[in-house]
Amino acid sequence: MRVLGIIDSQNDCGVALMEDSKIVSAINEERITRKKLVGGFPKESIKVFTKPDIIAVSGFCTPPIFARFFRNLQKAEYDVRKKKNTKWIKKLSDFAQGKLKIQTSKPNSWFGILEKPLIKPVIRRDLPKNLKNTKIIVYDHHLCHAAGAYYTQEKDQVLAVTADGCGDGVSFTINVCKDRNIKRIHEINAKNSHGWFYGLITMALGFQWHKHEGKVTGLAARGTASNVKINFPFVTKNGSTYYKGSHMPNDIKKMIKHYSREDVAAWVQKGLENHVTRVVKYWVQKTGLRNIVLSGGLFANVKLNELIFELPEVDTVYVFPHMGDGGLALGACLLTTRSKPGNLKTPYIGPSYNDDEILAELEKSGLKYKKYTNIEKTIAKLLSKGKVIARFNGAMEYGPRALGNRSILYQTNDKTVNDWLNKKLERTEFMPFPPATLWEKRHKCYKNLKEQNTQQNT
């Protein structure tokens, strides 16, 4: 059985393919169009795969049916994030971000009940001709997040925690996973979303919503949270969390206008860490499940993940490699197959190219090139001489992280690298570069390294 998964949300749309319970490949539209986190229907990605037996779609009401029906609305939202919008689109976007989505994106709401029967016909309309008669199954947004995290790691019994801005009216779920089944035992609705608030702060600081939240995390290291004399607008009790602030972007801008960007970033990061770790700790204690799997855009926040891992109540943490909405296509596939946990053996499941294809592109480009018999040794020598390496190797990484196959490499002993290399790459100057470390050398490079059972889970 061949299952094709689809995510057609407002950001990071893409597809995944499984065959006979094995993961074959996955790719997101941004890798083909070169438009970061582009949303809509993955019309380019879907061309990569042959005809499946079943099409699995993520999201009943995310994206909402009017966005699915009028795909240009999804493009308009992308343009808003790229600051190419007109004033009326900006006003509409602010309203949608502040009020509309959290009110209408629930499958059991009157809006959701009306749109559910329309999802499959609209998806079918957008499919290529050879797929229009294929069976379609639709799954809940956060259930797809949980499935991605559960079925791709190796343990049978885990606590799956999902968190994001909003998906099908929910922002946070707690799930008990056992015997290939996922049971949701708690959820927090979109009105009380930490991810949403983090996004509002991202916009208020002048960055792009749904794209630059990572810049806020990076900026937080340069600020002091205690300098911001604002009560953090969340209350957490009994394993749940409640938002007490405004959902409108302009209100957030007014609230923080007297503080530096660095301090505001540190304040929102600290608040996020405090409240989310308290929620996770509560449910670990209540269920007795000490092995945690994480998915959802909130867990792209590496500092938050670290603090969850450091909780005394937690034994192991696994983060799904494509934790954001871009990973939902594979989650939908996994829900259809319900295969044994441990399915994802490597994060390199994107497209790959043979030597003939690479040679053809080099000839077309007119660039000078040379083929080496020991390319790794050559790269090591170039790095030792202070050269910057663009590494293209094997299959593409799955998810938002550069993991060596599509990466820019440079030696780690140059303290000025953030300034000049970020400038060359047109990245914000304060964004860090993560170290790549040989597994065998990990204890020499890191302090307080806590071992887990497998290399996959560190």
What is the pLDDT at residue 457? 38
pLDDT tens digit sequence for 192-202: 999 999 999 99
- Residue 446 burial (C-beta neighbours within 10 Å; 0-12, 13-18, 19+): exposed
What is the pLDDT at residue 90? 53
Rounded to whole angstroms, the Cα distance separating 75 from 161 reads: 30
pLDDT tens digit sequence for 152-175: 999 999 999 999 998 998 999 999
Of 86-90, 333-337, 367-371, 450-454, the least confident: 86-90
pLDDT band at 448 (very low <50, low <70, confident <90, very high): confident
What is the pLDDT at residue 454? 44
Question: What is the percentage of the chain residues whose pLDDT exceeds 90?
Answer: 66
For residue 233, is pLDDT > 70? yes
Of 201-205, 323-327, 452-456, the least confident: 452-456
What is the pLDDT at residue 181? 96
Q: Residue 438 to residues 346, 378, 393, 405, 435: CA-CA distances in angstroms?
A: 16, 17, 17, 15, 10
All domains in the chain, ordered by first residue: 2-337 (3.30.420.40), 355-457 (3.90.870.20)
**Over residues 262-268, mean pLDDT:** 97
What is the pLDDT at residue 63? 87
- Sequence-distant (6+) residues with CB within 8 A of 394 are 348, 352, 405
Rounded to whole angstroms, the Cα distance separating 54 from 136 reads: 6
Whole-number mean pLDDT of the chain?
A: 88
Q: Which two tokens stand for residue 252?
A: 């957030």
End-to-end CA distance of the chain: 33
- Residue 138 burial (C-beta neighbours within 10 Å; 0-12, 13-18, 19+): middle
pLDDT band at 111 (very low <50, low <70, confident <90, very high): low
Element containing residue 318 per DSSP (H, E): strand 316-319
CB 43 within 8 A of CB 126: yes
Taken in order 424, 428, 430, 433, the sign of the CA dihedral is negative
What is the pLDDT at residue 80? 57
Q: Residue 260 to residues 267, 442, 454: CA-CA distances in angstroms?
A: 11, 37, 42
Q: Which two tokens stand for residue 353?
A: 């190219």
pLDDT tens digit sequence for 28-71: 999 999 888 888 999 999 987 878 999 999 999 888 888 888 88
Of 253-257, 316-320, 442-446, the least confident: 442-446
What is the pLDDT at residue 455? 42
pLDDT band at 249 (very low <50, low <70, confident <90, very high): confident
For residue 431, is pLDDT > 90? no
Rg (CA), the chain: 22
CB 49 within 8 A of CB 131: no
For residue 453, is pLDDT > 50? no
pTM of the entire predicted model: 0.90
Of 57-71, 118-132, 368-382, the least confident: 57-71
Rounded to whole angstroms, the Cα distance separating 221 from 261 reads: 11
Of 80-89, 180-189, 194-203, 418-427, the least confident: 80-89
CB 277 within 8 A of CB 308: yes
Of 98-107, 210-219, 243-252, the least confident: 98-107
pLDDT band at 77 (very low <50, low <70, confident <90, very high): low
